[in-house]
Amino acid sequence: MMASFLVIGYVFKVADTEGMWVAGRGIGNIENGMAIGANWMSAASYLGLAGLVALSGFYGVAFIVGWTTGYFVLLIFLAAQMRRFGKYTAPDFVADRFNSPMARALAAFTTLLIAYVYSVGQARGMGLVGQYVFGLDIIPMIVVMMTITVGYLALSGMLGATKNMAVQYVILIVAFLAGVYVVGFSQGYSTILPQIEYGALFSELSRQFSEPFRANSYYLWVATAFSLIFGTCGLPHVLVRFYTVQNERTARWSTVSGLFFIMLLYWAAPAMAAFGVDLFAAVNNISPDAVYNGEQAMSGAEGDVIVVLAAQFADLPTWFVGLVAAGGMAAAIATTAGLFITASSAVAHDIYSELINPDATQRQQVLIGRATIVAIGALVTVTAFNPPALIGELVAYAFSLAGTVLFPMFFLGLWWENTNRQGALAGMTTGLLLWIGSVVNSVLPAYVGFLADIAGGPGQAIIPIYAQYVPPIGAALIGTPLVFLVTIAVSLVTPEPPLETKKMVRQCHSPEPMGQQQSAEDIVSNSGGETPADD
Amino acid sequence: MTDNDTHDSVETDGGTATQPAQAHRNTNYLDEEVNILKPSTAFMRDHLRVVWTSFVVWALIVFGPVTLTAIAPGPMSQTMPVLGFPLHYFLVAFCAPTGALILAAIYARKRDSLDEKYGIDHSTPDTGGDTGGGPDDAAATDGGVEQ
């Protein structure tokens, strides 16, 4: 088992060095679509999604809906305009659009929080898969895998990793689909279309698998899907991909193909979950209902690796199980790498050199960046030992933060030119407080003694009604509209933004084609001659 | 329409310019307000019509089935013939994402045809130059926006 995993790891390395064929901004929509897919699919998609569907039943489907259909909103409202604006990190966009270092700091802080929460899910996934493959305890496994990831990043940076997204996508999707097809075929569940054929299995599964709103209410379902949808539109690492294409038209079409490539996995994940649950019952010799209740019920950790477990239960050769496991590992490592880079640039560039020390040298920035990676790596590792939720749910916390704080800034910033600095600051602060409040209220009492005392027990929320309507996983359903309102209200009562800024927004919506290397700022500063193009 | 035709059009189109294409040429987008509820240019009006229509359809596809399931759990969770899925499960897990994908493709096509209607060509982004070129654009002076 170990050997097979190492072999696959070696194959990955080869693929990595060959990934140099993706060139500059000349990427077409198919490759970019694959890159969107690879960038997007983390351990949460690869492992967590099937785990959620297996364990949470119909509620898990909210994650499928949230993580796919959000791309449509992104496409119609943000993709092309963001491409035209020309800034592609959240702090850069917010700072330039709202002319405010403070807004930059808030956005950078949010980015850092997102990276941290998101990575905990990934680290957990790496640990679980590693534990499964190497047979060690989960805690040493998380430490080892995170050390490898952090070490690799701190030394080499993202240089290699961004070059081979399309290759990564192919490896990831082949591993996953091979798993679904082979398990389905060898167990007699399906032949050519497991994505639809798993329906026949429903009569054999426990009713809990499909029963609507069994454990979670309709409100939570909608809140979760809503958060994931608008979180997708607020996540900076998704928007980056639109900057790498030739023109806006390619940006639009690559969103379409990206969504298709993502759905290849999302169509198959519930099938894998259904196979896994059925096999779980068969292998453990329990009734379908006992998967969810009683002593032999499926644990959270088992659910999170159901994709790998299904392959194992189906008695497939170890090298094949290793392949499926390696796909999950690759997804987790690639995403963690991307997140840590985002976090380190938020700290080193946006917080340190823009705010704390404007005279920072390159050397200092790199140093701060590396220190951030190591620090956040350590923090993530420790948190992953005893996470508050399943992989997919952990990642969803990050989405609800992005949907609450960043999405309204992107949307209003691009679609309403009168959104101003004061509005943005007020809106972002409101969103951050709301989300942090929600986490402190519902998640932290499980860890922090005195909060648990206030809440009256480790599993309780401090303010139950707040936890019910603003759960961390679905905070955006209340949060996003609230942030919109605050931003608009404050923008209306304070002075309008300068003409320069308004023109930048207008340029984002002009249908006029732009040059490949141009940003809205270049064009505005050239057209009016009010300011020289100083940067 | 505000009459601020600042473009002395350098490109000829062989007389095929349609009404919308004409309107597009006569618009200086840097002078037109951007407000999602009050589209100020002909192009934006057309574009937003597509955006809002597809957004409504999207919302129905995504949140419709689950809401129906909450209202009428019985009829919605009946087993489908042939496929064997409970209806609500299939509609949500399969149809909602697929619907979003199809809508995305439709939107991208519509947007392409809007470009065509307004005579916008993305294949040569650097020669259009109506709103001014970039710093390294040699043609920036001829089609640039004048004050």
Residues A4-43: pLDDT tens digits? 555 555 555 444 433 333 334 456 777 778 878 877 888 7
Residues A467-521: pLDDT tens digits? 788 888 888 999 999 999 999 999 999 888 888 888 888 888 877 777 666 677 7
Highest-pLDDT range among A282-291, B31-40, B54-63: B54-63
Asked whether the beta carbons of A135 and A460 are under 8 A apart, the reply is no
Report d(CA A200, CA A27) in Å as an integer.
41
pLDDT of residue A532: 40
Report d(CA A511, CA A509) in Å as an integer.
6
Decide if pLDDT at A156 tops 70: no
State which residue of chain B sits closest to A58, comparing Cα positions.
B89
Cα A436 off chain centre by: 18
- Please indicate, yes or no, if residue B7 is contained in any of the structural domains: no
What 8-state DSSP symbol labels residue A494? S
Confidence of residue A427 (pLDDT cuts 50, 70, 90): very high
Cα A349 off chain centre by: 22
* C-alpha atoms less than 13 angstroms from C-alpha of A327 in its C-beta half-sphere: 29
pLDDT of residue B123: 64
**Domain total for chain B?**
1
Residues A246-266: pLDDT tens digits? 677 888 888 898 899 999 889
pLDDT of residue B122: 66
The model carries a pTM of 0.83
- Please indicate, yes or no, if residue B64 is contained in any of the structural domains: yes
Using a CB-CB cut-off of 8 Å, the residues of chain A touching B147 are 528-529
**Residue from the list A76, A218, A514 with its beta carbon closest to the beta carbon of B125:** A514
- Please indicate, yes or no, if residue B18 is contained in any of the structural domains: no
Terminal Cα-to-Cα distance of chain B (whole angstroms)? 19
Decide if pLDDT at B3 tops 60: no
Report d(CA A346, CA A108) in Å as an integer.
5
Percent of chain A's residues with pLDDT above 90: 11
In sequence order, the 6+-apart residues with CB closer than 8 A to the CB of B22 are none
Q: Is A505 on the interface with B (CB under 8 A)?
A: yes
- Please indicate, yes or no, if residue B95 is contained in any of the structural domains: yes
Of B7, B11, B89, B123, which to mutate for an interface test with A (greatest number of A Cβ within 10 Å)?
B89
Residues spanned by the domain of B93: 58-118
Q: Is there a contact between B34 and A417 if contact means CB atoms under 8 Å apart?
A: yes
pLDDT of residue A481: 93
User: Which ipTM score applies to this complex?
Assistant: 0.83
Q: Is there a contact between A505 and B34 if contact means CB atoms under 8 Å apart?
A: yes
Using a CB-CB cut-off of 8 Å, the residues of chain A touching B35 are 415-418
Q: Which is nearest to B142 in space by CA: B15, B21, B7, B27?
A: B7
Looking up tokens 């689909």 gives A177
Q: Is A61 on the interface with B (CB under 8 A)?
A: yes
Q: Is there a contact between B125 and A513 if contact means CB atoms under 8 Å apart?
A: yes
What 8-state DSSP symbol labels residue A246? S
Confidence of residue B21 (pLDDT cuts 50, 70, 90): confident
Q: Is there a contact between B107 and A72 if contact means CB atoms under 8 Å apart?
A: yes
pLDDT of residue B141: 38
Q: Which is nearest to A422 in space by CA: A98, A63, A91?
A: A98
Decide if pLDDT at B144 tops 80: no
The mean pLDDT of A140-151, rounded to a whole number, is 83
Report d(CA A285, CA A279) in Å as an integer.
9
Burial of B8 (0-12, 13-18, 19+ CB in 10 A): exposed
Residues A320-356: pLDDT tens digits? 888 888 888 877 877 787 788 778 888 888 888 877 8
Asked whether the beta carbons of A173 and A37 are under 8 A apart, the reply is yes
Confidence of residue B124 (pLDDT cuts 50, 70, 90): low
Of B36, B41, B62, which to mutate for an interface test with A (greatest number of A Cβ within 10 Å)?
B62
Length of chain B counted residue by residue: 147
pLDDT of residue B79: 78
- Please indicate, yes or no, if residue B111 is contained in any of the structural domains: yes
- Please indicate, yes or no, if residue B147 is contained in any of the structural domains: no
Which A-chain residues 351-390 have CB contacts (< 8 A) with chain B?
none
The mean pLDDT of A112-136, rounded to a whole number, is 85
Q: Quote the mean pLDDT of chain A.
A: 80
* Interaxial angle between packed helices A306-313 and A101-134, expressed in degrees from 0 to 180 and rounded to the nearest 10: 20
Which A-chain residues 403-422 have CB contacts (< 8 A) with chain B?
415-418
State which residue of chain A sits closest to B64, comparing Cα positions.
A222
- Please indicate, yes or no, if residue B100 is contained in any of the structural domains: yes
In sequence order, the 6+-apart residues with CB closer than 8 A to the CB of A358 are none
How many interface pairs between A and B have CB atoms less than 8 angstroms apart? 204
Q: Which is nearest to A66 in space by CA: A211, A224, A215, A219?
A: A224
- Please indicate, yes or no, if residue B47 is contained in any of the structural domains: no
Residues B65-107: pLDDT tens digits? 888 888 887 777 777 777 778 888 888 888 999 999 999 999 9
